[in-house]
Homo-oligomer: A and B are copies of this chain.
Amino acid sequence: MAFLLLLADIESKSWVKQLKIHEPQLDLRLWPNTGPVEEIDFVLAWRPPPGELARYPKLRCIASLGAGVDHLLRDPDLPAAVPVTRVVDASMAQSMSEYVVMAVLNWCRHMPRYARQQQERRWQVHVPRQASSTGVGIMGLGQLGGAAARHLVALGFDVAGWSTGPKQIAGVRSYIGEAQLGAFLGRTDILVCLLPLTERTRGILDARLFAGVRPGAYLINCARGEHLQEADLLAALDSGQLAGACLDVFVTEPLPPEHPFWRHPSITVTPHTASLTHPRAVVPRLIENYRRVMAGLAPLDQIDRLRGY
Protein backbone atom coordinates (compact mmCIF):
# COMPACT_ATOMS: atom_id res chain seq x y z
CA MET A 1 0.00 0.00 0.00
CA ALA A 2 2.92 2.39 -0.63
CA PHE A 3 2.91 5.63 -2.66
CA LEU A 4 6.13 6.37 -4.52
CA LEU A 5 7.16 9.93 -5.39
CA LEU A 6 9.53 9.63 -8.35
CA LEU A 7 10.75 13.07 -9.39
CA ALA A 8 13.84 13.07 -11.57
CA ASP A 9 14.68 16.76 -11.61
CA ILE A 10 12.26 18.72 -9.45
CA GLU A 11 12.15 19.52 -5.76
CA SER A 12 10.00 17.12 -3.72
CA LYS A 13 9.55 19.15 -0.53
CA SER A 14 6.23 20.90 -1.25
CA TRP A 15 4.83 17.69 -2.78
CA VAL A 16 5.62 15.74 0.38
CA LYS A 17 4.06 18.45 2.50
CA GLN A 18 0.78 18.51 0.56
CA LEU A 19 0.54 14.71 0.33
CA LYS A 20 0.94 14.46 4.14
CA ILE A 21 -1.68 17.15 4.68
CA HIS A 22 -4.23 15.36 2.53
CA GLU A 23 -3.43 11.77 3.60
CA PRO A 24 -1.57 11.77 6.94
CA GLN A 25 -1.43 7.94 7.05
CA LEU A 26 0.20 7.70 3.58
CA ASP A 27 3.12 5.26 3.36
CA LEU A 28 5.17 7.64 1.25
CA ARG A 29 8.47 6.58 -0.35
CA LEU A 30 10.87 9.02 -1.99
CA TRP A 31 12.66 7.63 -4.99
CA PRO A 32 15.30 6.25 -5.17
CA ASN A 33 14.68 5.08 -1.56
CA THR A 34 11.78 2.88 -2.57
CA GLY A 35 12.04 0.00 -0.09
CA PRO A 36 10.94 -3.40 -1.47
CA VAL A 37 9.66 -2.83 -5.02
CA GLU A 38 6.66 -5.16 -4.53
CA GLU A 39 5.25 -2.80 -1.89
CA ILE A 40 4.70 0.06 -4.37
CA ASP A 41 1.06 0.41 -5.54
CA PHE A 42 0.93 3.97 -6.87
CA VAL A 43 3.59 6.19 -8.38
CA LEU A 44 3.54 9.94 -8.98
CA ALA A 45 6.22 10.45 -11.61
CA TRP A 46 8.09 13.16 -13.45
CA ARG A 47 10.63 12.10 -16.07
CA PRO A 48 11.38 8.65 -14.68
CA PRO A 49 14.45 6.92 -16.18
CA PRO A 50 13.38 4.52 -18.97
CA GLY A 51 12.80 1.02 -17.59
CA GLU A 52 12.37 2.24 -14.02
CA LEU A 53 8.58 1.80 -13.82
CA ALA A 54 8.86 -1.83 -15.02
CA ARG A 55 10.64 -2.66 -11.73
CA TYR A 56 7.44 -2.45 -9.63
CA PRO A 57 5.43 -5.67 -10.09
CA LYS A 58 2.34 -4.61 -8.09
CA LEU A 59 1.94 -1.14 -9.60
CA ARG A 60 -1.74 -0.18 -10.06
CA CYS A 61 -1.51 3.42 -11.27
CA ILE A 62 1.10 5.69 -12.86
CA ALA A 63 0.25 9.37 -12.33
CA SER A 64 2.03 12.00 -14.42
CA LEU A 65 2.98 15.06 -12.44
CA GLY A 66 2.18 17.27 -15.44
CA ALA A 67 -0.51 17.70 -18.07
CA GLY A 68 1.79 16.03 -20.58
CA VAL A 69 2.59 12.31 -20.48
CA ASP A 70 5.24 12.19 -23.20
CA HIS A 71 7.89 11.82 -20.47
CA LEU A 72 6.20 8.48 -19.54
CA LEU A 73 5.18 7.13 -22.94
CA ARG A 74 8.68 7.50 -24.37
CA ASP A 75 9.68 4.57 -22.12
CA PRO A 76 9.45 1.37 -24.24
CA ASP A 77 9.26 -0.69 -21.05
CA LEU A 78 6.35 1.22 -19.51
CA PRO A 79 4.10 -1.49 -17.99
CA ALA A 80 1.36 -2.00 -20.56
CA ALA A 81 -1.47 -2.96 -18.22
CA VAL A 82 -1.13 -0.16 -15.67
CA PRO A 83 -3.46 2.86 -16.08
CA VAL A 84 -1.68 6.19 -16.72
CA THR A 85 -3.24 9.44 -15.49
CA ARG A 86 -2.36 13.06 -16.07
CA VAL A 87 -2.97 16.29 -14.22
CA VAL A 88 -6.20 18.00 -15.29
CA ASP A 89 -6.28 21.19 -13.30
CA ALA A 90 -7.96 24.52 -13.81
CA SER A 91 -5.02 26.38 -12.31
CA MET A 92 -2.76 24.99 -15.06
CA ALA A 93 -5.16 26.22 -17.74
CA GLN A 94 -5.24 29.60 -16.00
CA SER A 95 -1.47 29.79 -15.83
CA MET A 96 -1.06 28.76 -19.46
CA SER A 97 -3.73 31.23 -20.62
CA GLU A 98 -1.96 34.06 -18.82
CA TYR A 99 1.30 33.18 -20.51
CA VAL A 100 -0.24 32.99 -23.98
CA VAL A 101 -2.20 36.25 -23.55
CA MET A 102 0.94 37.94 -22.27
CA ALA A 103 3.10 36.73 -25.15
CA VAL A 104 0.46 37.72 -27.73
CA LEU A 105 0.04 41.21 -26.24
CA ASN A 106 3.78 41.79 -25.89
CA TRP A 107 4.18 41.07 -29.58
CA CYS A 108 1.20 43.15 -30.76
CA ARG A 109 2.26 46.06 -28.58
CA HIS A 110 5.92 45.94 -29.71
CA MET A 111 7.35 45.32 -26.25
CA PRO A 112 10.54 43.64 -27.55
CA ARG A 113 11.24 46.78 -29.64
CA TYR A 114 10.47 49.09 -26.74
CA ALA A 115 12.84 47.10 -24.51
CA ARG A 116 15.63 47.66 -27.04
CA GLN A 117 14.71 51.33 -27.36
CA GLN A 118 14.81 51.73 -23.58
CA GLN A 119 18.38 50.43 -23.54
CA GLU A 120 19.21 53.02 -26.22
CA ARG A 121 17.15 55.75 -24.44
CA ARG A 122 15.24 56.16 -27.68
CA TRP A 123 11.62 57.43 -27.83
CA GLN A 124 9.84 56.11 -30.91
CA VAL A 125 6.20 55.07 -31.22
CA HIS A 126 5.12 52.03 -33.23
CA VAL A 127 1.45 51.63 -34.14
CA PRO A 128 0.05 48.61 -32.27
CA ARG A 129 -1.23 45.59 -34.15
CA GLN A 130 -4.99 45.70 -33.69
CA ALA A 131 -6.50 42.68 -31.98
CA SER A 132 -9.48 42.45 -34.32
CA SER A 133 -7.27 42.19 -37.40
CA THR A 134 -4.65 39.88 -35.86
CA GLY A 135 -5.16 36.20 -36.63
CA VAL A 136 -4.09 34.04 -33.71
CA GLY A 137 -3.86 30.36 -34.58
CA ILE A 138 -3.77 27.87 -31.73
CA MET A 139 -2.52 24.37 -32.48
CA GLY A 140 -4.20 22.09 -29.95
CA LEU A 141 -7.60 23.04 -28.55
CA GLY A 142 -7.69 20.79 -25.50
CA GLN A 143 -8.01 21.94 -21.90
CA LEU A 144 -5.08 24.37 -22.17
CA GLY A 145 -5.52 25.54 -25.76
CA GLY A 146 -9.26 25.98 -25.30
CA ALA A 147 -8.82 28.15 -22.23
CA ALA A 148 -6.22 30.33 -23.95
CA ALA A 149 -8.51 30.68 -26.98
CA ARG A 150 -11.42 31.91 -24.82
CA HIS A 151 -9.28 34.59 -23.16
CA LEU A 152 -7.96 35.82 -26.53
CA VAL A 153 -11.51 36.00 -27.93
CA ALA A 154 -12.52 38.09 -24.90
CA LEU A 155 -9.70 40.50 -25.77
CA GLY A 156 -11.01 40.86 -29.32
CA PHE A 157 -8.48 38.76 -31.24
CA ASP A 158 -9.42 36.87 -34.40
CA VAL A 159 -8.84 33.35 -33.07
CA ALA A 160 -8.75 30.01 -34.86
CA GLY A 161 -7.76 26.58 -33.64
CA TRP A 162 -6.34 23.48 -35.26
CA SER A 163 -6.99 20.05 -33.79
CA THR A 164 -7.54 16.42 -34.75
CA GLY A 165 -11.29 16.60 -34.13
CA PRO A 166 -13.83 19.45 -34.33
CA LYS A 167 -14.07 21.76 -31.31
CA GLN A 168 -16.93 24.09 -30.42
CA ILE A 169 -15.61 27.24 -28.74
CA ALA A 170 -17.59 30.47 -29.11
CA GLY A 171 -15.82 32.87 -31.44
CA VAL A 172 -13.11 30.37 -32.42
CA ARG A 173 -12.96 29.01 -35.95
CA SER A 174 -12.09 25.32 -35.89
CA TYR A 175 -9.80 23.68 -38.48
CA ILE A 176 -9.36 19.92 -38.48
CA GLY A 177 -6.54 17.63 -39.44
CA GLU A 178 -3.94 17.66 -42.18
CA ALA A 179 -6.49 18.61 -44.86
CA GLN A 180 -7.27 21.96 -43.24
CA LEU A 181 -3.80 22.78 -41.95
CA GLY A 182 -2.98 25.00 -44.95
CA ALA A 183 -6.12 27.09 -44.57
CA PHE A 184 -5.47 27.41 -40.82
CA LEU A 185 -1.90 28.59 -41.33
CA GLY A 186 -2.86 30.97 -44.14
CA ARG A 187 -4.86 33.17 -41.73
CA THR A 188 -2.31 33.06 -38.91
CA ASP A 189 -0.24 36.07 -37.77
CA ILE A 190 0.58 34.54 -34.39
CA LEU A 191 1.02 30.77 -34.15
CA VAL A 192 0.62 29.24 -30.68
CA CYS A 193 1.66 25.61 -30.09
CA LEU A 194 -0.23 23.86 -27.29
CA LEU A 195 -0.27 20.37 -28.81
CA PRO A 196 0.43 17.23 -26.84
CA LEU A 197 3.78 15.69 -27.78
CA THR A 198 3.15 12.47 -29.68
CA GLU A 199 4.88 10.67 -32.52
CA ARG A 200 2.61 12.60 -34.91
CA THR A 201 3.39 16.04 -33.48
CA ARG A 202 7.13 15.64 -32.79
CA GLY A 203 8.96 18.20 -34.95
CA ILE A 204 5.71 19.60 -36.37
CA LEU A 205 6.96 23.20 -36.08
CA ASP A 206 9.19 22.97 -39.12
CA ALA A 207 10.11 24.78 -42.34
CA ARG A 208 7.00 23.52 -44.16
CA LEU A 209 4.73 24.88 -41.42
CA PHE A 210 6.53 28.23 -41.22
CA ALA A 211 6.22 28.63 -45.01
CA GLY A 212 2.42 28.47 -44.65
CA VAL A 213 1.78 31.25 -42.14
CA ARG A 214 1.39 34.91 -43.06
CA PRO A 215 4.75 36.59 -43.78
CA GLY A 216 6.27 38.13 -40.67
CA ALA A 217 4.30 35.90 -38.30
CA TYR A 218 5.21 35.26 -34.68
CA LEU A 219 5.65 31.87 -32.99
CA ILE A 220 4.76 31.04 -29.37
CA ASN A 221 5.74 27.55 -28.20
CA CYS A 222 4.69 26.60 -24.68
CA ALA A 223 4.04 22.90 -25.32
CA ARG A 224 7.24 20.83 -25.60
CA GLY A 225 10.68 21.63 -27.00
CA GLU A 226 10.50 18.56 -29.24
CA HIS A 227 7.63 20.10 -31.23
CA LEU A 228 10.09 22.55 -32.74
CA GLN A 229 12.75 21.97 -35.37
CA GLU A 230 15.16 24.48 -33.94
CA ALA A 231 17.26 24.94 -37.09
CA ASP A 232 14.11 25.60 -39.14
CA LEU A 233 13.08 28.36 -36.74
CA LEU A 234 16.46 30.07 -37.07
CA ALA A 235 16.23 29.87 -40.86
CA ALA A 236 12.68 31.28 -40.90
CA LEU A 237 13.80 34.20 -38.70
CA ASP A 238 16.78 34.81 -40.99
CA SER A 239 14.54 34.91 -44.07
CA GLY A 240 11.96 37.14 -42.38
CA GLN A 241 9.15 34.63 -42.92
CA LEU A 242 8.87 34.65 -39.12
CA ALA A 243 9.51 37.95 -37.33
CA GLY A 244 10.06 36.56 -33.86
CA ALA A 245 9.34 33.85 -31.32
CA CYS A 246 8.56 33.43 -27.65
CA LEU A 247 9.76 30.05 -26.42
CA ASP A 248 9.14 28.49 -23.01
CA VAL A 249 10.21 24.91 -23.79
CA PHE A 250 13.33 23.43 -25.36
CA VAL A 251 14.71 20.10 -26.50
CA THR A 252 17.36 20.36 -23.78
CA GLU A 253 16.31 21.95 -20.48
CA PRO A 254 17.84 23.90 -18.87
CA LEU A 255 18.71 25.54 -22.19
CA PRO A 256 22.53 25.24 -22.43
CA PRO A 257 24.43 28.55 -22.15
CA GLU A 258 25.95 28.15 -25.62
CA HIS A 259 22.55 27.69 -27.31
CA PRO A 260 21.92 30.36 -30.02
CA PHE A 261 18.35 31.06 -28.78
CA TRP A 262 19.65 32.89 -25.68
CA ARG A 263 21.25 35.68 -27.68
CA HIS A 264 18.96 35.82 -30.71
CA PRO A 265 17.53 39.36 -30.97
CA SER A 266 14.11 38.09 -32.13
CA ILE A 267 13.65 35.30 -29.57
CA THR A 268 12.26 35.65 -26.05
CA VAL A 269 13.33 32.78 -23.76
CA THR A 270 11.52 31.82 -20.55
CA PRO A 271 12.56 28.83 -18.40
CA HIS A 272 9.61 26.40 -18.81
CA THR A 273 7.40 28.56 -16.64
CA ALA A 274 4.21 28.93 -18.69
CA SER A 275 2.27 26.42 -16.66
CA LEU A 276 3.72 25.09 -13.43
CA THR A 277 1.99 22.30 -11.53
CA HIS A 278 1.16 23.60 -8.06
CA PRO A 279 1.16 20.82 -5.42
CA ARG A 280 -1.52 22.63 -3.43
CA ALA A 281 -3.85 22.64 -6.45
CA VAL A 282 -3.39 19.09 -7.70
CA VAL A 283 -2.66 16.89 -4.65
CA PRO A 284 -6.33 16.56 -3.60
CA ARG A 285 -7.16 14.93 -6.95
CA LEU A 286 -4.08 12.69 -6.74
CA ILE A 287 -5.12 11.49 -3.28
CA GLU A 288 -8.64 10.91 -4.57
CA ASN A 289 -7.18 8.71 -7.30
CA TYR A 290 -4.94 6.91 -4.82
CA ARG A 291 -7.99 6.06 -2.68
CA ARG A 292 -9.95 4.93 -5.73
CA VAL A 293 -7.17 2.61 -6.83
CA MET A 294 -6.77 1.21 -3.29
CA ALA A 295 -10.54 0.56 -3.28
CA GLY A 296 -10.34 -1.32 -6.58
CA LEU A 297 -11.85 1.49 -8.70
CA ALA A 298 -10.43 2.86 -11.96
CA PRO A 299 -8.52 6.15 -11.53
CA LEU A 300 -9.87 9.38 -12.99
CA ASP A 301 -8.10 11.44 -15.71
CA GLN A 302 -6.68 8.42 -17.52
CA ILE A 303 -4.96 9.01 -20.83
CA ASP A 304 -5.44 7.06 -24.04
CA ARG A 305 -2.14 5.35 -24.76
CA LEU A 306 -2.88 4.85 -28.45
CA ARG A 307 -3.71 8.51 -28.93
CA GLY A 308 -0.72 9.46 -26.79
CA TYR A 309 -2.49 11.96 -24.49
Contact = CB atoms under 8 A, between A and B. Distances in A.
Interface in A173-230: none
A270 B99 contact: no
Contacts of A127: 276
Contact of A257 (B114, B121, B263): B121
B94 A102 contact: no
A30 interface: no
A293 interface: no
Interface residues of A, number: 45
Interface string A138-179: 000000000000010011100000000000000000000000
B94 A98 contact: no
A121 B250 CA distance: 14
Contacts of A1: none
Interface in A92-144: 94-95, 97-99, 101-102, 105-106, 108-111, 114-115, 117-118, 121, 123-128, 130-131
Nearest to A123: B254
Given A98-B105, A115-B115, A271 B125 contact: yes
A123 B271 contact: yes
A128 B271 contact: no
Nearest to A105: B102
Given A98-B131, A101-B101, A117 B271 contact: yes
A102 B98 contact: no
A253 interface: yes
A78 interface: no
Given A121-B262, A125-B276, A98 B106 contact: no
A88 interface: no
A268 interface: yes
A106 to B, nearest CB: 6
A47 interface: no
Contacts of A73: none
A269 interface: yes
Contacts of A257: 121
Interface of A: 91, 94-95, 97-99, 101-102, 105-106, 108-111, 114-115, 117-118, 121, 123-128, 130-131, 151, 154-156, 253-255, 257, 259, 262-263, 268-273, 276
18 contacts: A91-B130, A94-B131, A94-B156, A98-B105, A98-B155, A99-B109, A101-B101, A102-B106, A111-B270, A114-B269, A114-B270, A114-B273, A118-B269, A123-B254, A123-B255, A125-B272, A125-B276, A154-B154
